[in-house]
Amino acid sequence: MRGVLNSLLQDLHYALRQFRKSHGFTIVAVLTLALGIGANTAIFSVVNGVLLNPLPFPHANRIVSMFEATPDFFKGSISYPNFLDWQRDNRSFEAMAAYRSTDGSITGVAQPENVRAQRVSANFFPILGVNPILGRNFTSEEDRRGAGPTALISEGLWKRKFGSDPNVIGKRLIVAGQARTIIGVIPASFRLHVFNFRTADVYEAVGEETDPAFYLRDSHWNMDAIGLLKPGITLAQACDDMKRVNAGLANAYPSVDGNVKTNIIPLKDNIVGDMRSVLLVLLGAVGFVLLIACVNVANLLLARSTARQREFSIRAALGAGQMRIVRQLLTESVLLSALGGTLGLILAKWGTTAALVAVPETVPRAEEIGIHLSALLFTVFVSVLTGIVFGLLPAIKMSRTDISERLKDGGRAISGSRSSIQSVLVMGEMAMALVLLVGAGLMCRTLVQLWKIDPGFDPHNVSFFEVTPPPSLVNQPPDAILAALRQISATLHSVPGVEALSLHDGAVPMDHDNEKGFLLEGQEPPKQRTEYFPQTVEYTVEPEYLKTMRIPLLRGRFLSDEDNESSARVVVIDASFAQQYFAGQDPIGKRIRIFEFDSDSNQRISVPLVIVGVVGHVNQWGLAEDASRPLQAQMYRPILQRGAVDMKRLARGFNVFVRSKTPLAPEAFFEPIRQKLLASNRDMVVYDNESEEEVVAQSIASQRFSLILLGTFAGLALLLAGIGIYGVLAYLVGQRTRDIGVRMALGAQRLDVLRMVLREGARMTLAGAVIGLAVALALTRLMASMLFGVRPTDPITFATVAALLCAIALFACYIPARRASKVDPMVALRYE
Amino acid sequence: MTETNQALIQITDMTKVFYTDEIETHALSGVHLSVNKGEYVAMSGPSGCGKSTLLSIIGLLDTPTAGRYFLNSKPVENLDFAERARIRNQEIGFIFQSFNLIGDLTVYENVELPLTYRQRMPSVEHKKRVMEALERVGMAHRLKHYPSQLSGGQQQRVAVARALAGHPSILLADEPTGNLDSRNGEAVMELLANLHKDGATICMVTHDPRFAKHAQREIHLFDGKVVAEEELKKLLQETSA
Ligand SMILES: Nc1ncnc2c1ncn2[C@@H]1O[C@H](COP(=O)(O)OP(=O)(O)OP(=O)(O)O)[C@@H](O)[C@H]1O
Ligand SMILES: [Mg+2]
Domains in chain B: boundaries: 38-48+81-240
- Ligand 2 centroid to Cα of residue B210, in Å, is 18
- Asked, for residue A28, whether it belongs to a domain, the answer is no
Q: Which atom of ligand 1 is nearest to the CA of B54?
A: 18
Cβ–Cβ contacts within 10 Å for residue A226, how many? 26
| Closest approach of A303 to chain B, Cα-based (Å) | 18
Final residue belonging to a domain, choices A249, A272, A295? A272
Q: Say whether residue A414 is in contact with chain B using an 8 A CB cutoff.
A: no
CA distance A755 to A735: 17
Hey, are the CB atoms on A413 and B97 less than 8 Å from each other?
no
- Ligand 2 centroid to Cα of residue A737, in Å, is 19
Residue A616 and residue A480 share a domain: yes
Predicted pLDDT at A563: 94
Final residue belonging to a domain, choices A629, A656, A683? A683
CA distance B143 to B108: 5
- Asked, for residue A221, whether it belongs to a domain, the answer is yes
CA distance A75 to A324: 62
Predicted pLDDT at A300: 85
Ordered alpha helix ranges (H), A359-409 = 373-400, 403-407
Contact A381, A373 (CB under 8 A): no
CA distance A150 to A152: 7
Residue A146 and residue A265 share a domain: yes
Residue A668 and residue A614 share a domain: yes
Contact A757, A733 (CB under 8 A): yes
Cβ–Cβ contacts within 10 Å for residue A477, how many? 10
> Smallest Cβ distance to B117: which of A416, A752, A826?
A752
Residue A445 and residue A483 share a domain: no
Q: Is B241 exposed, middle or buried (0-12, 13-18, 19+ CB in 10 A)?
A: exposed
Atom 26 of ligand 1: nearest residue by CA position: B47
Residue A628 and residue A716 share a domain: no
Nearest Cα to A426, choosing from A726, A798, A713? A726
Shortest-distance ligand to the CA of residue B54: 1
- Asked, for residue A361, whether it belongs to a domain, the answer is no
Nearest Cα to A87, choosing from A207, A192, A235? A207
Bridge partners of residue A95, in order along the sequence: A228
Indicate whether this complex's ipTM tops 0.85: yes
> Smallest Cβ distance to A828: which of B100, B104, B166?
B100
Bridge partners of residue A63, in order along the sequence: A228
- Asked, for residue A38, whether it belongs to a domain, the answer is no
AA letter at A451: W
pLDDT along chain A (832 residues), means of 10: 80 86 86 91 89 92 94 88 96 97 80 88 97 96 94 95 94 90 96 90 94 88 95 96 95 87 95 88 92 89 77 76 82 90 91 77 80 83 85 77 48 48 90 95 94 94 92 87 93 94 94 89 70 86 96 96 92 96 94 86 87 96 89 95 84 93 86 92 88 91 88 93 90 88 93 94 94 95 90 95 95 94 86 57
- Asked, for residue A530, whether it belongs to a domain, the answer is yes
SS3 content of chain B, % helix, strand, coil (to 5): 40, 25, 35
Cβ–Cβ contacts within 10 Å for residue A799, how many? 12
Hey, are the CB atoms on B56 and A826 less than 8 Å from each other?
yes
CA distance A104 to A116: 7
Q: Which residues of A touch B50 (CB under 8 A)?
A: none
CA distance A218 to A517: 10
Residue B229 scores a pLDDT above 80: no
Ligand 1, pocket-test mutation among B14, B18, B97, B203, most atoms within 8 A of CB: B18
Residues with Cβ within 6 A of ligand 1? B 18, 20, 25, 27, 47-53
Q: What DSSP line would sit under A753-778, residue for residue?
A: HHHHHHHHHHHHHHHHHHHHHHHHHH
Contact A739, A828 (CB under 8 A): no
- Ligand 2 centroid to Cα of residue B22, in Å, is 23
Residue A652 and residue A550 share a domain: yes
CA distance B117 to B166: 10
Q: Which of B58, B80, B88, B170 to mutate to test the interface with A (most CBs of A within 10 A)?
A: B88
Instruction: Kindly indicate the confidence band of residue B37, based on its pLDDT and cuts at 50, 70 and 90.
Output: very high
Q: What DSSP line would sit under B31-57, residue for residue?
A: EEEEEETT-EEEEE-STTSSHHHHHHH
Residue A636 and residue A538 share a domain: yes
Residue A644 and residue A769 share a domain: no
- Count CB pairs under 8 A between chains A and B: 74
- Asked, for residue A711, whether it belongs to a domain, the answer is yes
Hey, are the CB atoms on B62 and A748 less than 8 Å from each other?
no
Predicted pLDDT at B3: 42
Residue A99 and residue A134 share a domain: yes
Cβ–Cβ contacts within 10 Å for residue A167, how many? 8
CA distance A281 to A516: 38
- Asked, for residue A695, whether it belongs to a domain, the answer is no
Q: What DSSP line would sit under A542-599, residue for residue?
A: -TTHHHHHTPPEEEE----TT-STTS--EEEEEHHHHHHHSTTS--TT-EEEEEEEET
AA letter at A600: D
Residue A614 and residue A744 share a domain: no
Q: Which residues of A touch B63 (CB under 8 A)?
A: none
Q: How many residues does chain A have?
A: 832
Torsion sign across C-alpha atoms A310, A315, A319, A322 = negative
Bridge partners of residue B201, in order along the sequence: B170
Torsion sign across C-alpha atoms A797, A800, A801, A802 = positive
The range of the structural domain enclosing residue A187 comes to 63-272
Structural domain count, chain A: 3
Count of H-run helices and E-run strands, chain B: 8, 10
- Ligand 2 centroid to Cα of residue A827, in Å, is 12
Class for the domain spanning B38-48+81-240: alpha beta
Residue A483 and residue A581 share a domain: yes
CA distance A221 to A238: 24
